[in-house]
Amino acid sequence: MSSGRFADKVVLVTGAGSGIGRATALAFAREGADLVLCDVNEASLEEVSAATRAQGRRALARKVDVSSAAAMQSFADEVHAALSGVDVIVNNAGVAVAGGLRDTTLDDWNWVMGINVMGVVHGCHFFVPRMIERGRGGHVVNIASAAGLAGSRLLLAYATTKFAVVGFSEALREDLRRHRIGVSAICPGFIRTNINEAGRRRGRFAEPAAIERSRRLMERGASPELVAGRIMDAVEQNLGLVPVTKEAHLAYALKRVSPNLLGAIWRRLEAWQAPEL
């Protein structure tokens, strides 16, 4: 028997190789959970798996593209052949596209929608039914963003996907309530991850000066470990919508009480990132 807040639970984390996913996987392991992990980067995934096992926890790790229904089906089949099911699902895998409508290609849209939206849908579609069948409750965590609370032309496509994740999570929370399965939408602000480096930038946002400003902004962001802690709190307390970081709380509050002020703040941030846009 393990000890900790999540002793003897099995937690699935997508996009577990870096950033919020990595921090979340290791945080759950420290609190007694066994892990089911996936990522498209095998090297980073193996590093996280090794760190999980070093804490005395089990880790089943596979390279999986969450945007592929076939890949997620195979992954779920393998997991369910080895385990009765998972107790917590953390749909974390995500990518970013920066740019406005005219600069964002249809390929960009398909890419970001496939990972950020359908990746979350696939995680739920292939793992939640077994959770329901077991009848032991559980929890689903979907990683959204402060950009899912307040839209910005800087992140047109990305914001679209994160609004979708928030809406999906709210509806799913009601759908799964009768099965004692909670659902949380986590909305971080600026977090020190590699999402900018791994993302796509279009138009003026692809210019070196804009990239450098974005890098500096992210460097001042909060740690992924902060988000991991809020995720565990959300699971324990069955929280619905969870802003993380001051700017996310500010966006959430202003969206309700002063959307015009929020819009002005976004425009100032955009002008700082790409002054001549």
The predicted-structure confidence for 22-77, as pLDDT tens digits, reads as follows 999 999 999 999 999 999 999 999 999 999 999 999 999 999 999 999 999 999 99
Q: What is the mean pLDDT of residues 247-273?
A: 73
Model-level pTM? 0.92
What does CATH list as the number for 10-273? 3.40.50.720
- On the 0-12 / 13-18 / 19+ scale of CB atoms within 10 A, 75 is buried
Q: Angle 213-219-220 (CA atoms, 0-180°, nearest 5)?
A: 95
**pLDDT: which is higher, 181 or 249:** 181
What was the pLDDT predicted at 275? 57
Mean pLDDT of the chain: 92
In the chain, how long is the greatest CA-to-CA distance? 60
**pLDDT: which is higher, 267 or 235:** 235
Roughly how many angstroms between the first and final C-alpha of the chain, as a whole number? 58
The predicted-structure confidence for 114-172, as pLDDT tens digits, reads as follows 999 999 999 999 999 999 999 999 999 999 999 999 888 889 999 999 999 999 999 99
Across 35-39, 155-159, 226-230, 252-256, least confident range: 252-256
DSSP 222: B
Q: Angle 101-105-21 (CA atoms, 0-180°, nearest 5)?
A: 95
Q: Is the pLDDT reported for residue 85 higher than 60?
A: yes
Buried b (16+ CB within 10 A) or exposed e, 136-168: eebbbbbbbbbbbbbbbbbbbbbbbbbbbbbeb
Domain ranges of the chain: 10-273
Contacts of 170 (CB under 8 A, 6+ apart): 183, 185, 240, 241
Q: Is 158 a catalytic residue?
A: yes
**pLDDT: which is higher, 246 or 233:** 233
The CA distance from 144 to 96, in Å, is: 12
The predicted-structure confidence for 187-224, as pLDDT tens digits, reads as follows 999 899 888 778 899 988 888 888 888 888 788 889 99
Q: Angle 114-70-43 (CA atoms, 0-180°, nearest 5)?
A: 75
Catalytic residue among 28, 158, 163, 205: 158
Report the SS3 class of residue 44: helix
pLDDT category at 260 given cuts 50, 70, 90 is confident
